Structure 1
Amino acid sequence: MPEQPSASELAEKVLAHPSVARLAGGAFGEITSYFPGHRITGVRMPEDGGVEIGVVVRLDQPVGTTIAELRDSLAGTLGETRVDIYVSDVETAEDPPEPA
């Protein structure tokens, strides 16, 4: 059985998609992985073996297309592991950038 990727590796893979503006923790920050001294918001790996991803997407293509592309991309890394992707918000070209 291949080794499960880290939350950091999954975050990088998701953020590499051009239609993903950023990762998102959900309404209450529940989609987060906690580690000593830091956390990764937008990726959660529950003990049941699934993976939860929270994103804010750009509306440069249909949201369903973006989600399907993310699933395909993650399937290459996660195999048959269940992946739940939550879209917390969308950005349009008219939206101002988020402050850093």
Structure 2
Amino acid sequence: MHDDPTTADTVASVARAVPGVADLHPGMFGEVGTYLPGRRVTGVRIRDDRVEVHITITPSAHVRQTAAAVRSAVRAAMPNTRVDVTVEEIAGASPNSGTDPTSQEDS
């Protein structure tokens, strides 16, 4: 299933459809992506043992809940696959705004 070129596209589409996801994120140095013939699916890395999804969330999204929702949605599309979700950024947050996406408390 991971060798199918549409797997990365499916993961990207499913992740983007989750409420609170602004977009996929390429990682700090642009290192997160799946290379396909003639193009790249940014924010999705397909490995033999797991799928990694890196996202940017909307300012109103709850970090942990959004990450969990993405994980669940991708797992539903790819049963029996480990899914790792990383929230890389909050859309519109400046680097010096004091907004730390990992410090948001559960409500």
Per the TM superposition, whether the score is higher than 0.5 is yes
State the alpha-carbon separation in 2 of the partners of residues 61 and 89 from structure 1: 11
Q: In the alignment, residue 15 of structure 1 is paired with which amino acid?
A: R
**Structure 2: runs of 5 or more not aligned:** 95-107
Identify the residue that residue 21 of structure 2 maps to in structure 1: 20
**Structure 1: runs of 5 or more not aligned:** 96-100
Residue identity (%):
34
Number of residue pairs the alignment of both structures matches = 91
Secondary structure of the 1:79 match is coil
Asked if 1 retains the 8 angstrom alpha-carbon contact of 2:19 and 2:66, the reply is no
Normalised to the residue count of structure 1, the TM-score between the two structures is 0.80
Q: 1:30-67 deviations in whole A, cap 9, x for unaligned?
A: 21001121101000102x32101111001323211111
List 4+ stretches of structure 1 deviating above 3 A: none
Equivalent residue runs for 1:1-100 within 5 Å? 3-4=1-2, 6-46=7-47, 48-91=48-91
Normalised to the residue count of structure 2, the TM-score between the two structures is 0.75
State the alpha-carbon separation in 2 of the partners of residues 91 and 27 from structure 1: 15
